[in-house]
Amino acid sequence: MSYPNAPGKLDIGSATMRYIPTIYSGKLLKKYYDATLLAAITNTDYEGEIRQYGDTVVIRSTPDMVIRDYSKGQTLVNDQPEATSQELLIDQGKYWSFVTDDLDEKQTDIKSFVDNWTTDAAEQLKITVDTAVLANIPTGAHASNSGSTAGAISGDIDLGVAGTPVALDKTNILDKFVDCGVALDELNVPESGRFLVAPPKLLGLLKKSELRDASIMGDPSSALRRGVVGMIDRFTTYSSNLLAKSGNEYSIIFGHKDATTFATQLVKNKVQDNPNGFGMLHRGLQVYGYKVIKSEALGHLVATVA
């Protein structure tokens, strides 16, 4: 569109004359992506054992040994330990595919557009997978790490349920995160490797709380300093827009990396001639699977902003 002209004046930029050219930028608009964090909160211990869609990895466990009282001269009881196993099924697949025309590639002034498109496809793939995993793994949380009566020993830790969330504000959010840590403590979950993922809305409350004082976290700088909030009661805390949300109820996931195993392979990433025209087909396929294999190491908090 040309600059506006007064009525009756010659407009050389009109749709009929088009004496004023339209200028197209040689740079593409920068695109922002949701942060993905599966690598930070899951383990990939079994990833090297998969090859394709439909693969099954059998995960074996160590049996619980029985400890008995001993009296001198007694006959010993010989146990026959039995271990359980779990199966990790590679039953999920996502792909992307687009076509380019040889003439378009010759005539366009953006010579890197194919690279930009494939980069975007890779980012969208990560976001799609993260969203699915984060939405589904809370159902695998141990009963003692979720609900209104959490705590394997105490049984009085309120972590909220759908319809009755925990109301959080800047005065109590730190206490509730500490409660999440206590729930894990009562199930003997290791401290090193713990994580907590919350939406920005709730982490905003955290940054307004007394955590503005860096000394509370033992960090050299304030919690306001970066997206990774820092260590809070042994949790490395992450912000994510990909967590499930229902109405005003937010889902917060916490636990240990041992809880969930994730395995993936980029099976195909190729460029080939388009059989139906003069151009190329650009395609990528990723297969993956995930499973909560140690429920005691995973917890779920349902909360709302008070």
The CATH number of the structural domain formed by 35-62+76-306 is 3.90.1690
Q: Which of 128, 101, 126 is nearest to 113 (CA)?
A: 101
Give the pair of three-digit tokens for residue 70. Answer: 């001993």
Q: Which residue has the tokens 């990774």?
A: 228
Residue 206 to residue 226: CA distance in whole angstroms: 13
Which phi and psi angles does 241 have, rounded to 5°? -90, 5
* Token pair for 220: 């050299």
Closest C-alpha to 119, from 44, 28, 243, 228: 28
246, β-bridge pairs: 249
Going residue by residue through the chain, which has 306 residues, state the pLDDT in tens, using 9 for 90 and above: 555 666 766 666 677 666 555 554 455 555 566 678 888 899 888 777 666 666 777 887 788 888 888 888 889 899 888 878 788 888 888 898 888 887 777 767 666 778 888 888 888 888 999 999 999 999 999 999 999 999 999 999 999 999 999 999 999 999 999 999 999 999 999 999 999 999 999 988 887 877 655 444 445 544 433 345 678 888 999 999 999 999 999 999 999 999 999 888 776 778 888 888 888 888 888 888 899 999 999 999 999 998
Can you give the residue ranges of every domain in the chain?
Answer: 35-62+76-306
What's residue 215's pLDDT? 41
Q: How many degrees, rounded to 5, is the angle at CA 238 between CA 236 and CA 239?
A: 160
DSSP for residue 295: G
Tokens standing for residue 250: 């937010």
The pLDDT of residue 216: 46
**89: its two tokens:** 């099924």
Which token pair is 96? 């992307």
Spatial distance between the Cα atoms of 198 and 191, rounded to a whole number of angstroms: 19
**What does 113-167 look like in DSSP terms, one character per residue?**
HHHHHHHHHHHHHHHHHHHHHHHHGGGGS-GGGSSTTB-TTT--B---BTTBPEE
Residue 233 CA to residue 184 CA, distance in Å, equals 11
β-strands 92-101, 279-292 pairing: antiparallel
Which residue type sits at 207? K
